[in-house]
Amino acid sequence: MPESVPYYLTEAFCREHGHKGAAQLARDFTDCTPSSWRDRRSNMRIAFPNLVALIDRLGRPVAQAEAVPDLVPGAMSRDQALLSAHLLPEQDMIARLKSGGTVVDLANHFDCAPSRVEATIAHLREKHLLVTETAAGFVLDKEMRPVTEPFRIDTAQFEEREFGFGWGADFHIGSKYERQDVLEDLADRWAAAGIGRVLVGGNWIDGSGRKFNEHDIYVHGVDNQVANFLEKLPRRPGMEWDILSGDDHEGWFVQDCSVNIGHVLESEAHTVGREDIHDLGYMERDIELEAAYGSARVRVIHAGGGSSYATSYTSQKYVESLQGGEKPQAVFVGHFHKFDWCDPREVDVIQMMTTQDQTPFMRKRRLQAHVGGGIAWFKQNELGILTSCKVEKWHYFDRKFYAFKWKRPEPSTCAGASNGGRP
C-alpha cells in the first residue's frame, strides 16, 4: 500500500499512546486525497490535536507516494520524521531545563517515556545548546567551561632554521665620549658567536654644526668624521655592517650640506677597501627575511624625541601608532641610548643601547646611558614565520670601572693582620 510521511507519524503516535490497531488507523487516517484530508483533519483534531499539528508542520499528506524517503520535495525522510515525532517540543523542554531535573523528573513532568527525554536532550545538544549534566540532573547552563584539553600545533611539520643579528646603535664616533673599547669587545663577541651581519641603528658618528656638542667632538667636517669612522670601526673576517643613518648627528650633514650621508659612507668605505660596510638608508628600513614558502619583515629605525620615564613607553607607543597591515615582526630601535626588549602587539621591539658614555648634555637632563650591544636570535620556519626570538646583550660600565687593577692583593706583612692586629 502506498505510504506517506504522515502515515509513519500517525503510526508512531498511535503506538506511543497505546492505541490498538495503530497501522490500520494510520492507513485510514492518511490514505486519502488532499481534499478529503481537510475533512478528516477537522474530525481528527479533536482526537489527535498534537498529531494534526505535527503533520501540518511537516507538510500536507500526499497519497500514492512512491517511496518512503523523499516523499515530498524538501520533506523529511522516514527516519527524520519518526525522530521528530519521538522528540518532545523543544521550547517546552528548554523552559523546563532552566530549573533542571533528572531524566525521571523530566519524564514525569512531560508524562512520557524516559527515552523521549534523553532523545530530546541529545537533540538539543546537537543544536549546540548548553545542556549540562550535574549530580542533580540536567540543567540549561548559563556559562561555558574552559577547555582543559590543550590545542596541539604540530610544529614538527615545518622545518625551522635559527640565525642571529648583532645589534648596536649610537656609536657617536668622533665624540670625546665614544667607547672604542666597548665597540672592539662587541665585535669580538659577535665574531665568536658566528654573527655574519650587524645592524646599526643610527648615530654612527657624532656630527657637527650644533652648539650643544661642538666641544664634545675631536674631529670636524663630514669628510673627516666619515674617514675617522672608517678607521675606527672594527673589522672582523666574515662580519658585515648594515648601517642606518639617523636624522640627527650624521643627519645634520644632510640638513646643512644637502648630502646623502649614507651614500658618502658606503662610497668612502669601498674606496678604502671596506666592502663589509653597507648603507641601510635613512631613518628606517625594512629587512625581508625570505624562507622557502614565505617571508618575515624586521625593521631598523632611528627614533626621535626624548627619553621617557618608563624605558619601554616609547617602544610601545611606536608600535601602537602603526597602521594595520604594516606591522613588522621585530623592530630594532636606535636613538635613546637605552636597552629594552618588549613585545607590544606581538612585535618584538629591541632598543639597541649605545657605545658612548653619558655626555654633559645627557647628565644635565638626568639621562642614563646604557652602554653595550647584543645579539637577537630568531627561528624561522619554511613558511616565513618567526616562531622564536631571544635576545642576548652585554652591558658595560664607565671607564673607571675597568681602570681598577683586578689582581689578588699581596699578603700583609703586618703581624696579626689576619685577625685584626690582635696578637
- 316 and 209 inside one domain: yes
Residue 130 binned pLDDT confidence (cut-offs 50, 70, 90): confident
pLDDT of residue 61: 38
Checking if the pLDDT of 211 tops 70, the result is yes
Q: Residue 375 burial by CB count (10 A; 0-12/13-18/19+): exposed, middle or buried?
A: buried
Question: What is the Cα–Cα distance from 382 to 388, expressed in whole angstroms?
Answer: 13
pLDDT of residue 72: 41
Checking if the pLDDT of 138 tops 50, the result is yes
Checking if the pLDDT of 6 tops 60, the result is no
Residue 13 binned pLDDT confidence (cut-offs 50, 70, 90): low
pLDDT of residue 153: 57
Query: How high does pLDDT run on average in the chain?
Result: 80
- 202 and 302 inside one domain: yes
pLDDT of residue 113: 85
Q: Could you report the per-residue pLDDT of 76-127, keeping only the tens digit for each?
A: 555 555 556 678 888 999 999 988 899 999 999 988 888 889 989 988 888 8
Residue at which a domain ends, from 87, 108, 140: 140
Residue 324 binned pLDDT confidence (cut-offs 50, 70, 90): confident
421 assigned to some structural domain: no
- 261 and 126 inside one domain: no
86 assigned to some structural domain: yes
* Among the ranges given (142-156, 253-267, 328-342), the one the predictor scored with the smallest mean pLDDT: 142-156
Q: Could you report the per-residue pLDDT of 166-205, keeping only the tens digit for each?
A: 999 999 999 999 999 999 999 999 999 999 999 999 999 9
174 assigned to some structural domain: yes
409 assigned to some structural domain: no
- 196 and 87 inside one domain: no
pLDDT of residue 186: 97
- 234 and 323 inside one domain: yes
- 161 and 287 inside one domain: yes
Checking if the pLDDT of 219 tops 80, the result is yes
419 assigned to some structural domain: no
Higher pLDDT, 233 or 360: 233
Question: What is the Cα–Cα distance from 80 to 122, expressed in whole angstroms?
Answer: 14
Q: What is the domain extent for residue 295?
A: 157-403
pLDDT of residue 314: 87
Q: What is the mean pLDDT of residues 301-315?
A: 85
- 95 and 178 inside one domain: no
Q: Could you report the per-residue pLDDT of 336-372, keeping only the tens digit for each?
A: 999 999 999 999 999 999 999 999 888 888 888 999 9
Checking if the pLDDT of 69 tops 60, the result is no
Q: What is the mean pLDDT of residues 234-260?
A: 92
- 196 and 341 inside one domain: yes
Residue at which a domain ends, from 140, 166, 201: 140
Q: What is the mean pLDDT of residues 238-257?
A: 91
- 231 and 294 inside one domain: yes
- Proportion of the chain above pLDDT 70, given as a percent: 72
- 104 and 179 inside one domain: no
- 123 and 208 inside one domain: no
- 161 and 131 inside one domain: no
408 assigned to some structural domain: no
420 assigned to some structural domain: no
The structural domain count of the chain equals: 2
Checking if the pLDDT of 19 tops 60, the result is no
pLDDT of residue 60: 39
CATH number of the domain that residue 244 is part of? 3.60.21.10
261 assigned to some structural domain: yes
* Among the ranges given (43-57, 102-116, 244-258, 361-375), the one the predictor scored with the smallest mean pLDDT: 43-57
pLDDT of residue 32: 52
Checking if the pLDDT of 66 tops 50, the result is no
